[in-house]
Amino acid sequence: MEFTAQQIAGLLNGTIEGDAAVKITKLSKIEEGETGSISFLANPKYTQYIYSTKASLVIVNKDLVLSAPVSATLIRVESAEIAFSKLLEMYNQIKLNKTGVSKLAFISESAKVGDNIYAGEFAVVGDNVKIGNNVKIYPQVFIGDNAVIGDNTTLFAGVKIYSETVIGKNCIIHSGTVIGSDGFRFNPQNDNQKIPQIGNVIIEDDVEIGANCAIDRATLGSTILRRGVKFDNLIHIAHNVEIGENTYIAAGGVIAGSSKIGKNCMFSGQVGIVGHVEIADNTIITAQSGISKSVSKKGEVQMGSPAFEANKYRKAYIHFRNLDGIVKRIDKLEKDK
């Protein structure tokens, strides 16, 4: 892809200083700029690089005052950070704008496929699957029988969607994620016989799931991710869990079976939650915390393992760190009796 400074300035509603015809073919950080690349300067800590960067084009704030000449062409905008983010979004849309069905893809004759889809090499779409418009199915994706994929959803390479799964519109599922695998249930009173998992997974609109996540199907009913949920990589959601709208979960999170997570929650990395608990709306859980019971108060910050209210945890931790000294004082008092 190649653009001129003039074209980019037009997209960003910016003003050019320098060569309007300079050609851009790639993006770069300002300190690592190369000829033919575009970068931006928003953080004052990086101002020094505007004078040394080899980037051909740099987006800067309108009010930036230069103290020396620069070799790069500049585009001045109201907010360099917002403008560059807009440019990244445009670049990503162009880069991922794939269409057409590969001759090496398999789509069942009974599947219903919308308009303008992309299906890459060795993608497999099973019987009675319903696929909406503008869906992108990257190479080696598997979509099981009777699944539903909504409009504008992207399934990156190697995603596996088991049968009966329902995925809404405008979702993004990253490589290696498995949706709809069996829940982990065995009967210890009957020679650990496996309990059949005959439910499904429902993922509502505008959900993004990172790479190498596992979301188990329900035993009965559905495992549900509500609208706007965002997952980082390496997250496991067990059978019959429900995640509320716009909840964010960072890498390594694990939620055991039948737990209910509220709306607008934020869980840091490696949070673990036991089964059959409820987490109130707007709950924040810090990294590596373990939740062993329900959280009923909305907006509370939980910390530790087992976790409890963060301010109380911090106070208790001060005493814990002083515990050795306290024990020595007690021992001394007892010896002095």
Residues 54/73, Cβ–Cβ less than 8 Å:
no
Quote the pLDDT of residue 20: 95
What is 3-95's CATH superfamily? MurE/MurF, N-terminal domain (3.40.1390.10)
Residues 235/251, Cβ–Cβ less than 8 Å:
yes
| Residues facing residue 63 across a β-bridge | none
Q: Tell me the pTM.
A: 0.84
Region of residue 50 (phi > 0: left; psi between -120 and 50: alpha; otherwise: beta): alpha
CA distances, 81 to each of 40, 61, 78, 84, 151 (Å): 7, 8, 9, 5, 30
276: annotated active-site residue: no
Quote the pLDDT of residue 12: 94
pLDDT band at 151 (very low <50, low <70, confident <90, very high): very high
**25-34: per-residue pLDDT in tens?**
999 999 999 9
What's the rounded Cα separation, in Å, for the pair 213 and 171?
15
**64-86: per-residue pLDDT in tens?**
999 999 999 999 999 999 999 99
Terminal alpha carbon distance of the chain: 84
Share of the chain above pLDDT 70, in %: 100
Catalytic residue among 174, 239, 276, 319: 239
List every span in the chain annotated with CATH 3.40.1390.10: 3-95
Which architecture, in CATH terms, is 100-312? 3 Solenoid (2.160)
pLDDT band at 111 (very low <50, low <70, confident <90, very high): very high
List every span in the chain annotated with CATH 2.160.10.10: 100-312
pLDDT band at 246 (very low <50, low <70, confident <90, very high): very high
